Amino acid sequence: MSEFNRIGLVGRAGSDRALGTLKRLINYLQGAGLEVVLEEETARSLSVPDLEVSNNDTLGKTCDLVIVVGGDGSLLGAARSLCRHKVPLLGVNRGRLGFLTDISPNDIEARVEEVLAGKYIMETRFLLDSSVVRQGALVGTGEALNDVVIHPGRFIRMIELELYIDGQFVYSLRSDGLIISTPTGSTAYALSGGGPIMHPKLDAIVIVPMNPHTLSSRPIVVDGNSEIRIVVGEHNRAYPHVTCDGQSHVVTNPGDQILINKKPHKLHLIHPLNHNFYETCRSKLGWGSHLGE
């Protein structure tokens, strides 16, 4: 008997390709005699009768496994909603890049069958919590699997920040912003900003300045348990935004403090047995293959 008997499904809303794959997945899972539960927004898009529908909280509490059909953005959203429940996530790629959603829809039945039979790799990924404090009062929070980004908002303006790590002053910075990334996010926005690729098993955070005024301001990698504090400069003309995974955002004022640290809840991510991080980098980032091939 499979350890996964009650399967939650989350799909990318508005994507015909994702919805088609979801219907195929529902037929397979029901044919295998498993309980299928649809996330409520997915259910509204899918219009499949006679299936149980739940919100994210209930999905996380009652399911043994949640399968996300969509792109990496879909899995990022599911991770933020479900990580506190420790339910494992499995991603089916119906997006573009697919660093996190690594099952191809072409062989979905075979790969899901292997997972249900216990043939899979389980790994954990940590998330970040962020909060904005103004004159001692909390004014906004967010969480991110990829990154927390401090940026000037709609208008491109240089912003001034002070960076502290574990209470120690690191530097003052004039730049277009700052990216604070997990290893999971190191192949996303942080990479385009010149940050290093970090293996997902690393317990580390990378801090990447965006177009810094001083070229000596380079990305730095710190311990994953670091307490990061960023003070928004008093003389900023811009009101920097704090954005988590490109979704939730808080607008700061000069003098505000942005606090970032590791979230206590981790994402449990399932991969097929043939998953290989370096092969994923080769295929997604266009790295060279073996010499002579």
One-letter identity of residue 281: C
Q: Whole-angstrom Cα distance, residue 66 to residue 131? A: 28
72 is catalytic: yes
Residue 204: its H or E element:
strand 204-210
Name 7's Cβ contacts closer than 8 Å, sequence gap at least 6: 29, 34, 35, 36, 37, 63, 64, 65, 66, 67
Q: Token match 């979801």: residue? A: 22
**String of DSSP letters for 1-16:** --S--EEEEEE-TT-H
Report, in angstroms and rounded to the nearest whole number, the Rg of the chain calculated over CA atoms.
Answer: 20
Question: What secondary structure letter does DSSP report for 99?
Answer: S
- Which residues, in sequence order, are CB contacts of 276 under 8 Å at separation 6+? none
Contacting residues for 174 by C-beta, under 8 A, at least 6 apart: 158, 159, 160, 212, 213, 214
Catalytic residue among 72, 147, 245, 256: 72
Structure tokens at 61: 């509490």
Q: How far apart are CA 12 and CA 249, in angstroms?
A: 21
CB 139, CB 282: distance < 8 Å: no
Report, as residue numbers or ranges, the catalytic residues: 72
